[in-house]
Structure 1
Amino acid sequence: MHSLTLAFSTLLAAVVAATCSYLFYLLVIWPRRNPLSRLPGPPVRNFFGNHLAAVLDPSRSPRVHEKFVKDYGRNVRIRGLFPWEERLFTLDPISLSHILKHSTIYEKPWQSRALISSMIGVGMLAAEGQVHKRQRRVATPAFSIQNMRALVPVTFKTGMALRDKWMSLISSAQDLSDDEKACGGMKLDVCHWVSRATFDVIGLAGFDYHFNAIHDQSNELFMAYKDMFETAISQQKGSLWDLLALYFPILDKIWPGERYLVVKRSHEVINRVAGRLIQEKKRKIEEAEKSGSVYAGKDLLSALLKSNIAIDLPPDQRISDEDILNNINTFLFAGSDTSSLTVTWLLYLLAKYPDVQERLRTELRSVTPAVPLESLTQDEIASLYAAIAELPYLENVLKETLRLIPPVHSSIRVATQDDVVPTSTPVKLHNPDGTVEEVDSFVMPRGSCVHVPIEAFNLDREVWGPDGWAFNPDRWDNLPEAVKAQPGLYNNMLTFSAGPRSCIGVKFSIIEIKMFTYILLTHFKFAVADPVGKANVVLTRPYVMDKHREGSQCPLFVIPLKQEGSA
């Protein structure tokens, strides 16, 4: 017994000594050796202080980002979550382009991947390396221009269903407020309704499944996804338990909290219902092959499955049914929320700037068919969208909305190896002896994180001009030369990221946003109902000022317009 006690005491002492040694290294030795500590950067107020709240809060981040650049340059050292965690904050286009281009060196941190994969599996948002490359290769044909055009009628019909729902709500409304009576419309939470509509679109476009979310919220698969995604948002509160569960997942299994149980229940429904949909699609594709024809399904799931069995795809490059399901979950998660928020913010900005709204409505009406929209055939819907897609002011308004309020406020990457980061302007590195040297590159150490400030990149007034924080769609007709040198998948913005991990669904998102904007703006006028602010909760969401506890919402006065020659 004495020997057991002695052995346990020895083991405990060794663990304590190892922990203390490691903490000493992290707190004392590593900060002196960390190459990032040589970069200029803002001070912290205390030992446990950090800069995360300042750079992540959209109500103050533009001012913070601008001050960083003014005081410290375009490559700045900031403090992360822990005292030993120095991060790179960069608004240098050359540095950012390098980091986003080399996606095998700069990956999502394991914490981010664990959080994502715990909800939607290891799809393209969570996968790295060869797994991501293989999944993207199989998925790319599904997002071809031809396939995206085939999904135009889906977005059109869903937009019309949302129009009809709003018309019904307004016409049957009772006990309207004085403000509602005065404007001739009704106050609706646009964020809530557009979110339901985009969920319907991605359900039909994703795997030919009718959630019917606009009219009914009782569908079990819809409820499973809705509960899980809302949990994904609510778990970002940053409580100590959430942090511990993220670093030590076993805690959730020992003492399962509400978040863990909701996700577990949702997974059971998704795996059963969506898993059955995958098997049914595979059976239909195989039956078509046996009969010498090609399965005509236009949804993303059908395209994924057909791409995965393509003759020119080597067997070792194919992905499993589990990967297919994970990526459908990813499309739902990434596709429904980001598009709905962009439409919401676009409508809010139009409500805030009525002159822009009227000008855009006039342009949209110029392509309205002479016959009622309900009577349009598939080909006529395609022709209508082709005309909508070419409207220049609509394009400007959309680009300006995506620039001013990108759905993803910022992102994070971690260096998987030591790397040398190039810069566009010299960086002042502080040497141990107190001297300062100017260099055109610096070392990014393995294990350190990069804060990718998407919103800051889009709002940089040194690049976009003095009115860079203002909503000005006309800027796109005469961009400053500096903008044209910026990296970005879409119009020199980082809204859809850049490099190998840029948004694969950008074409689909643009179709959906433009179609919804056309239908809603030609049938309704929008006016501001309550003061709305931005909050960064996974994505940049609208909240009524001083009512954050009521959740994300964007109430607007929605006023039906008299139609001239169309329904």
Structure 2
Amino acid sequence: KWYRLAALGFASLEMFEQVSLMTLDSLQKCGLPRVSDLGRTSSDYIAAILELSSLVVRRQHRLLLHCDLLYHLVPDGWRFRRACDTVHRFTAAVVQQRRQALSHLGREAWLKSKQGKTVDFIDVLLLAKDEDGQELSDEDIAAETDTFMFEGHDTTASGLSWVLYNLARHPSYQERCREEIKDLLQYKELEEIEWEDLSQMPFCTMCIKESLRLHPPVTAVSRRCTEDIKMHDGRILPKGNICLISIYGTHHNPAVWPEPQVYNPLRFDPENSQNRPPLAFMPFSAGPRNCIGQNFAMAEMKVVLALTLLRFAVRLDESRPVQRKPELILRSENGLWLHLEQPGPAMRASPPHHAPKAHAAPSS
């Protein structure tokens, strides 16, 4: 798609929209059953997710709108319900198709047909039973699927968009990443990233991590204290309190990160990371309730970054300044626009005849 747009002269593209469509498509291919007619509604789904993210944050800052009854009477409440309906219809279509297939074949035949093949996330939910032998309700499955689809594409899209932005700001780092990928793939007939390749991309990985530090997709998480917690100054956080933990603030703490506003991938060189506190860097949260999909997200970011830089150079669109916009996910106020440039002769790669595949299976 980007080759075609670049050929037509669309040199400047808004990254969040473009990358979100790609990560949603990747999620459907890797963890969910493919639904043939969802392509037409993907853009509607992305638009609804963006609107919900904005509406949720706006509601948090307006005390009167915390009352559900009042919220449903105002325009924001109408838009919220409409966007929720769009999201729920999208995920319901995914679940319904697989449920029909499962009902048609029967549980045992379905399990037999999946032997030796990847079991989708939806399969796990539809076949799951609790300790009493009861299957998950439609509401349970819908809730899990909505969470999986939102968190499985939107956060990754933010992380990828910001790393492309940071490498556009620092061409020397971008070129070093590109050379690393060219060296990795130089003896391969096809430009494909295999699972074992993911550990052979040290500098690209450092660039991704530094971008996640500087621009974490999720800027804060909340946790309820399960016991009294004594702080270093002697004060007590009482059991039952809900605490807001600022990931963005932690990642920009000058006591831990010297010159925190500077993009410096070498912070994550193994030698420079030895004495760093373990919770100084937590883009995927931490503890028992951390991100269940962080391995999948990192694998996807490495693959996408590698194949993108192999085929394109990304440059800043100086006419569109970038201003951070923290919502549920960290975005940019007026989008994040970058120029795509065809690679020069020394780094030119042929347009793919099919979607590049990465044999990096989803992992939690």
Pick the aligned partner of 1:511 from 295, 299, 308: 299
Q: CA deviation at 1:462?
A: 1.5
Q: CA deviation at 1:252?
A: 4.6
Q: CA deviation at 1:504?
A: 0.3
TM-score between the two structures when normalised by the length of structure 1: 0.55
Which has the higher mean CA deviation after the structures are superposed, 512-521 or 189-198?
189-198
Pick the aligned partner of 1:276 from 71, 96, 105: 96
Give the structure 2 partner of residue 555 of structure 1: 337
CA gap 1:387/1:232 in 2 versus in 1, 3 angstroms: same
Give the structure 2 partner of residue 204 of structure 1: 29
CA gap 1:442/1:346 in 2 versus in 1, 3 angstroms: same
Letter in 1 for 2:219: H
CA gap 1:189/1:211 in 2 versus in 1, 3 angstroms: farther
Identity %: 24
8 A Cα contact 2:310 2:348, kept in partner:
no
1:170 aligns with 2:6: yes
Which residues of structure 2 form unaligned runs of 5+? Answer: 352-364
Give the structure 2 partner of residue 330 of structure 1: 147
Q: CA deviation at 1:251?
A: 3.1
Pick the aligned partner of 1:449 from 242, 255, 267: 242
8 A Cα contact 1:410 1:452, kept in partner:
yes
Q: CA deviation at 1:468?
A: 3.3
Pick the aligned partner of 2:218 from 396, 403, 408: 408
- Structure having the higher Rg: 1
Q: CA deviation at 1:188?
A: 1.6
Cα shift readout 1:82-113 (whole Å, capped 9, x = no counterpart): xxxxxxxxxxxxxxxxxxxxxxxxxxxxxxxx
Cα shift readout 1:340-399 (whole Å, capped 9, x = no counterpart): 11111101111111111111100011122556537xxxxxx56x3421332211121111
Please show how residues 295-444 of structure 1 align to structure 2 within 5 Å.
296-306=117-127, 308-309=128-129, 314-315=131-132, 319-368=136-185, 370=187, 373=190, 381=192, 384-415=194-225, 419-423=227-231, 425=232, 427=233, 439=234, 442-444=236-238
Please show how residues 169-318 of structure 1 align to structure 2 within 5 Å.
169-173=5-9, 186-210=11-35, 218-219=40-41, 222=42, 225-236=45-56, 238=58, 243-246=63-66, 248-253=67-72, 257-263=77-83, 265-266=85-86, 269-270=89-90, 272-283=92-103, 286=106, 288-289=108-109, 292-294=112-114, 296-306=117-127, 308-309=128-129, 314-315=131-132
Q: CA deviation at 1:443?
A: 3.9
Q: CA deviation at 1:444?
A: 2.0
8 A Cα contact 1:285 1:294, kept in partner:
no
Give the number of equivalent residue pairs: 344
Cα shift readout 1:213-254 (whole Å, capped 9, x = no counterpart): 8xx6x32xx3553343122123146369964343x2233555
Which has the higher mean CA deviation after the structures are superposed, 186-195 or 356-365?
186-195
Task: Give the Cα–Cα distance (whole angstroms) in 1 for the partners of residues 273 and 23 of structure 2.
Answer: 34
Please show how residues 106-185 of structure 1 align to structure 2 within 5 Å.
165-173=1-9
Cα shift readout 1:296-326 (whole Å, capped 9, x = no counterpart): 34432224444x25xxx73368633322221
SS at match of 2:82: helix
Which has the higher mean CA deviation after the structures are superposed, 532-541 or 250-259?
250-259
Letter in 2 for 1:407: P
8 A Cα contact 1:233 1:538, kept in partner:
yes
Cα shift readout 1:136-157 (whole Å, capped 9, x = no counterpart): xxxxxxxxxxxxxxxxxxxxxx
8 A Cα contact 2:21 2:43, kept in partner:
no
SS at match of 1:461: coil
Q: CA deviation at 1:456?
A: 1.6
SS at match of 1:493: coil
CA gap 1:261/1:395 in 2 versus in 1, 3 angstroms: closer
TM-score between the two structures when normalised by the length of structure 2: 0.82
Task: Give the Cα–Cα distance (whole angstroms) in 2 for the partners of residues 241 and 254 of structure 1.
Answer: 17
